[in-house]
Amino acid sequence: MTETYVIGVDVGTASARAGLFDLKGRMLSAAKRDITLYRESGSIVEQSSGEIWGAICAIIREVVQGAGVSPEQVIGLGFDATCSLVVMGEGGRPLGLGGGDPSRDIIVWMDHRAVTQAERINAIGHDVLRYVGGRISPEMQTPKLLWLKENRLQIFGKAWQFFDLADFLTWKATGDLSRSTCTVTCKWTYLAHEARWDESYFRAIGLGELADEGFARIGTQMVEPGTRLGSGLMEAAASAMGLRPGTAVAAGMIDAHAGGIGTVGIGGNLTENMAYVFGTSSCTMTSTTEPVFVPGVWGPYYAAMVPGLWLNEGGQSAAGAAIDQLLAFHPAAEEARGRAHAAGKSLPSFLADVASAKAKTASETVLLVGGLHVVPEFLGNRAPFADPHARALIAGLGMERDLDSLVALYIAGLCGIGYGLRQIIETQATHGAGVKRIVISGGAGSSPLVRHLLADACGLDVVAPAAEEPVLLGSAILGSVACGAFSDVKGAMQALSTAACVHEPCQGELNALHQRRFEAFLKLQDVARAL
pLDDT digits (tens, 9 = 90+) for 202-211: 999 999 999 9
Q: What percent of the chain has pLDDT over 90?
A: 91
Residue 444 has pLDDT above 90, yes or no: no
- 33 by DSSP, 3-state: which? strand
The two beta strands, 273-278 and 437-441, are parallel
User: How do residues 129-187 score in pLDDT, each as one tens digit?
Assistant: 999 988 999 999 999 999 999 999 999 999 999 999 999 999 999 999 999 999 999 99
List the domains of the chain with CATH numbers: 5-253 (3.30.420.40), 263-466+498-531 (3.30.420.40)
Instruction: Indicate the pLDDT class of residue 495, thresholds 50, 70 and 90.
Output: very high
H or E segment at 51?
helix 49-67
CA 138 to CA 386: how far, in whole Å?
Answer: 10
Q: Which of 38-42, 51-55, 383-387, 495-499 has the lowest mean pLDDT?
A: 38-42
Residue 354 has pLDDT above 80, yes or no: yes
State residue 423's pLDDT score: 98
State residue 133's pLDDT score: 86
State residue 99's pLDDT score: 67
Instruction: Indicate the pLDDT class of residue 526, thresholds 50, 70 and 90.
Output: very high
The two beta strands, 248-249 and 273-278, are unpaired
Give the total residue count for the chain.
Answer: 531
Q: What percent of the chain has pLDDT over 70?
A: 100
State residue 57's pLDDT score: 98
User: How do residues 215-240 score in pLDDT, each as one tens digit?
Assistant: 999 999 999 999 999 999 999 999 99
User: How do residues 396-441 score in pLDDT, each as one tens digit?
Assistant: 999 999 999 999 999 999 999 999 999 999 999 999 999 999 999 8
State residue 234's pLDDT score: 98
Model-level pTM?
Answer: 0.89
Q: b/e for 378-416, b at 16 or more Cβ within 10 A?
A: bbbbbbbbbbbebebbbeeeeeeeebebbbbbbbbbbbb
State residue 41's pLDDT score: 81
Residue 461: closest CA among 498, 501, 516:
501
Amino acid letter, residue 70: S
CA 378 to CA 321: how far, in whole Å?
Answer: 9
Cα–Cα distance list, 397 to 67, 185, 242, 304, 414 (Å): 50, 43, 55, 43, 16
Q: Work out the average pLDDT over 50-61.
A: 98
CA 207 to CA 162: how far, in whole Å?
Answer: 13
- 337 by DSSP, 3-state: which? helix
Residue 42 has pLDDT above 90, yes or no: no
Q: Work out the average pLDDT over 375-379.
A: 95
State residue 84's pLDDT score: 98
Nearest-5° Cα angle at 204, 201 to 209: 85
User: How do residues 72-128 score in pLDDT, each as one tens digit?
Assistant: 999 999 999 999 999 999 989 999 897 678 899 999 999 999 999 999 999 999 999
State residue 1's pLDDT score: 63
CA 320 to CA 456: how far, in whole Å?
Answer: 18
Nearest-5° Cα angle at 515, 513 to 516: 65
Q: Work out the average pLDDT over 479-508.
A: 95
CA 322 to the chain's CA centroid: 15
Q: Work out the average pLDDT over 342-362.
A: 96
Residue 2 has pLDDT above 90, yes or no: no
Amino acid letter, residue 210: L
What is the overall mean pLDDT for the chain? Answer: 95
CA 112 to the chain's CA centroid: 16
Residue 269 has pLDDT above 90, yes or no: no
- 248 by DSSP, 3-state: which? strand
CA 419 to CA 465: how far, in whole Å?
Answer: 22
- 104 by DSSP, 3-state: which? coil
Is 310 within 8 Å of 289 (Cβ atoms)? yes
